[in-house]
């Protein structure tokens, strides 16, 4: 059976709220964090809105997240977001930041999509101008994908497995699943897990060139992300980070830790870019298999799922995702679980999406509510024909949520699904 794994701390840097209290208030009240970005207008991007956290970078120093020496290299990067979310989750778990010896029982799995491309632009410019000696000694830390886990584990002295994963939009849920598996199988007592993303101008421009971003709501940014809507015209890139502290249940109880929820199990697979799956589209057979395997690993039946936190990006894939859930669960119409997409409020935070959305899922379990799908006043009729619209709420619903399924499906046809539960002694 393995060890039971519980969540004892959470941290979040989201476009609609930095810190758990602000984030909780935002998702309960359907507050959008998507804003017009004048810089993107100057660059002639078709999509000129983004989900960008309103973050005080000076707090990295004043709140002792990091030293003055390394501050300037992390301002406006995925490492900075990830470090803040991770440190907040650690503090929320009741643990002290300082330690003389490595914490051999504790590891870290934290993911991201890409290294700091704006930092690399400066590297390229200086090298091309034969000014490599002016680069400074910390640029390598910003260039390597493992920069985020290196900073987190170094700041907290984590001595167990330290892993940086990267599976596009599936990264966050996959990181949480990996940390869960390390604890369940007895390799660690505690894991700090999550993911982070900073969508800089170069990453943003790459997606804009694909014409997959929302382009018709630049004047009304809060309406730009429209999952499951007939007027959905593409996703809105977002930035931020989510982090969780996972612990062996007995280990957590022994130290008197506060327990938010339990991770019952999960699954991660790939559709192999076969049977209709491509670099950018999920193979439905793989998605269904991932969801059913997650339920099997968690030891639950599909009728026990109260809430689906969908991937649902506001693209043409939304309809197929709903169909995949129906197939996997054997539930449709009025019997479909309540379902929402946090992306309606914060956009698609790429690698950070799964971890931020998992924090939102756990908050719904803890506080007994289902957050709204904003901008859903004009449902896609193909989706409305599959499930009752009452199952896709446009206003917050107060309801006990015992079990939630959180899934993400990433570029490269990679899938991940978690089953989260209220903690029951």
Q: How far apart are CA 160 and CA 163, in angstroms?
A: 10
Is the pLDDT confidence value at 159 over 70? Answer: yes
Cβ–Cβ under 8 Å, residues 121 and 135: no
Q: How far apart are CA 240 and CA 16, in angstroms?
A: 10
For 6-26, the pLDDT digits (tens) are: 999 999 999 999 999 999 999
Percent of residues, the chain, with pLDDT higher than 90? 83
SS3 332: coil
For 72-119, the pLDDT digits (tens) are: 566 668 888 999 999 999 999 999 999 999 999 999 999 998 877 777
pTM of the model: 0.96
Task: Check residue 114 and report its DSSP letter.
Answer: S
Q: How far apart are CA 268 and CA 5, in angstroms?
A: 18
Range 184-213 average pLDDT: 95
Determine what percent of the chain falls in helix, strand and coil, rounding each to the nearest 5.
40, 20, 40
Cβ–Cβ under 8 Å, residues 111 and 79: no
Q: How confident is the model at residue 178 (pLDDT cuts 50, 70, 90)?
A: very high
Query: Which range, of 73-82, 152-161, 195-204, 250-259, averages the lowest pLDDT?
Result: 73-82
Per-residue pLDDT, 73:
60
Range 384-409 average pLDDT: 98
Query: Tokens at residue 270, please?
Result: 């790939």
Q: How confident is the model at residue 422 (pLDDT cuts 50, 70, 90)?
A: very high
Judged on CB neighbours under 10 Å (0-12, 13-18, 19+), 333 is exposed
Domain architecture of the chain: domains with CATH? 5-261 (3.40.47.10), 267-421 (3.40.47.10)
Is the pLDDT confidence value at 192 over 60? Answer: yes
Query: Tokens at residue 145, please?
Result: 């994908």
For 288-301, the pLDDT digits (tens) are: 999 999 999 999 99
For 309-360, the pLDDT digits (tens) are: 999 999 999 999 999 999 999 999 999 999 999 999 999 999 999 999 999 9
Per-residue pLDDT, 116:
74
| Residues 6+ positions from 133 with CB-CB distance below 8 Å | none
Range 115-139 average pLDDT: 79
Phi and psi for 13 in degrees, rounded to 5? Answer: -120, 105
Q: Which contacts of 146-151 are long-range, i.e. CB under 8 A and separated by 24 or more positions?
A: 147/79, 147/115, 147/116, 148/78, 148/79, 148/82, 148/83, 148/110, 148/112, 148/196, 149/108, 149/109, 149/110, 151/66, 151/70, 151/74, 151/79, 151/82, 151/83
Per-residue pLDDT, 280:
87
The CA-atom distances, in angstroms, between 394 and each of 165, 169, 344, 348, 397 are 34, 25, 11, 19, 9
């Amino acid at each position: 059976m393995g060890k039971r794994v519980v969540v004892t701390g959470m941290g979040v840097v989201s476009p609609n709220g930095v810190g758990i209290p602000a984030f909780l208030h935002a998702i309960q009240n359907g507050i959008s964090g998507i804003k017009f970005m004048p810089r993107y207008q100057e660059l002639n991007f078709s999509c000129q809105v983004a989900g960008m956290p309103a973050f005080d970078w000076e707090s990295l120093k004043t709140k002792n997240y990091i030293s003055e020496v390394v501050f300037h290299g992390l301002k406006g990067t995925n490492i900075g977001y990830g470090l803040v979310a991770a440190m907040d989750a650690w503090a929320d778990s009741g643990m002290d930041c300082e330690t003389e010896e490595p914490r051999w029982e504790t590891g870290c799995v934290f993911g991201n999509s890409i290294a700091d491309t704006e930092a690399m632009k400066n590297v390229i410019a200086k090298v091309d101008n034969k000014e490599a000696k002016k680069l400074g000694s910390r640029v390598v830390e910003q260039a390597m994908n493992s920069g985020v886990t290196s900073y987190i584990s170094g700041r907290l002295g984590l001595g167990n497995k330290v892993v940086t994963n990267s599976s596009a939009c599936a990264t966050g849920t996959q990181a949480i699943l990996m940390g869960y598996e390390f604890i369940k199988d007895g390799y660690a007592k505690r894991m700090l897990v999550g993911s982070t993303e900073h969508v800089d101008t170069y990453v943003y421009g790459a997606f804009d060139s694909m014409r997959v971003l929302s382009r018709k709501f630049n004047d009304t940014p809060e309406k730009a992300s429209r999952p499951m809507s007939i007027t959905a015209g593409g996703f809105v890139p977002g930035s931020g980070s989510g982090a969780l502290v996972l612990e062996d249940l007995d280990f957590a109880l022994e130290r008197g830790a506060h327990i938010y929820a339990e991770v019952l199990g999960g699954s991660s697979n790939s559709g192999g870019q076969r049977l209709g799956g491509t670099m950018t589209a999920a193979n439905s057979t793989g998605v269904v298999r991932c969801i059913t395997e997650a339920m099997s690993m968690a030891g639950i039946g599909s009728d026990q799922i109260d809430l689906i936190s969908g991937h649902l990006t506001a693209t043409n894939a939304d309809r197929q995702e709903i169909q995949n859930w129906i197939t996997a669960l054997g539930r449709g119409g009025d019997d479909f679980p309540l379902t929402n997409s946090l992306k309606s409020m914060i956009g698609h935070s790429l690698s950070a999406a799964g971890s931020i959305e998992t924090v939102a899922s756990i908050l719904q379990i803890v506080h007994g509510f289902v957050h709204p799908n904003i901008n859903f006043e004009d449902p896609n009729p193909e989706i409305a024909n599959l499930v009752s619209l009452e199952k896709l709420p446009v206003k917050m619903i107060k309801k006990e949520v015992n079990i939630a399924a959180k899934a993400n499906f990433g570029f490269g046809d990679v899938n991940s699904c978690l089953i989260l539960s209220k903690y029951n002694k």
